[in-house]
Amino acid sequence: MVDNTEASKTEKDVFRVLAGAPALQKYKLLLHPEGPNGIDIVATAKGYSDFGIEIENTEEAKWTSDLPFPPNWVKGFSVLSRKKKFFVSHSMSLFVKVNYNTTRAVVIPMSYIFSGDLDKEPERNKFQNETGCNTFYRVFNPEHPAMCFCEIKDLPAVVEGYLQSLMQMKRTTEKFTKGRPNFRVKKEKEK
């Protein structure tokens, strides 16, 4: 654990569940290693790095512990577009949304979330809050094969399965890729 002081209660609870699980003992898990504005958990294993886990909690009224998923998810699973920066910095990463009581979770690789377009539905696309307008990426298919709805006790096994899949994909890519093109794209300077 690196920066426990800036972590939310949910992030600390999920970190404890993952860090204490035998299935994840081969990974070094760090909570907020990049500070409070970075990805929540970084997982590394021998020969592999850049695995990230972003955790988001849900308000009490929106998802109670007895439901496998929030009842208000009738239009899709949405993720704030500002979370995309974590996928850019940790391309092999997972997004975990946890209910208010930290008894259930939804897990999906960030590559599935951010490979789509921004939400085009006006009443859902933006809302006002204390920080201004937000935009969302959304997964519309509740049967999406990469989205897992699980109990928190099963979260370590689910995360381990996803990390194993990501590791296999990375090994395969490294084994068969003989070269890469040089794209002539200017990167925007971060503000």
User: pLDDT tens digits, residue range 75-101?
Assistant: 777 888 889 888 888 888 999 999 988
Q: In terms of Cα–Cα distance, which of 124, 27, 6, 16 is closest to 75?
A: 124
pLDDT classification of 120: cutoffs 50, 70, 90: low
CA–CA distance, 168 with 165 (Å, rounded to integer): 5
Q: Is the pLDDT of residue 55 over 80?
A: yes
User: What's the pLDDT score for residue 130?
Assistant: 45
Domains and CATH numbers, the chain: 9-175 (3.40.1350)
Nearest-5° Cα angle at 10, 140 to 35: 95
- Token pair in block for residue 82: 């500002």
Sort 146 into a burial class: Cβ within 10 Å, 0-12 / 13-18 / 19+.
middle
Q: Is the pLDDT of residue 123 over 50?
A: no
Q: Is the pLDDT of residue 126 over 80?
A: no
User: What's the pLDDT score for residue 50?
Assistant: 76
User: What's the pLDDT score for residue 186?
Assistant: 67
If one compares 63 and 152, the residue with the highest pLDDT of the two is: 152
3-state secondary structure of 10: helix
CA–CA distance, 66 with 98 (Å, rounded to integer): 13
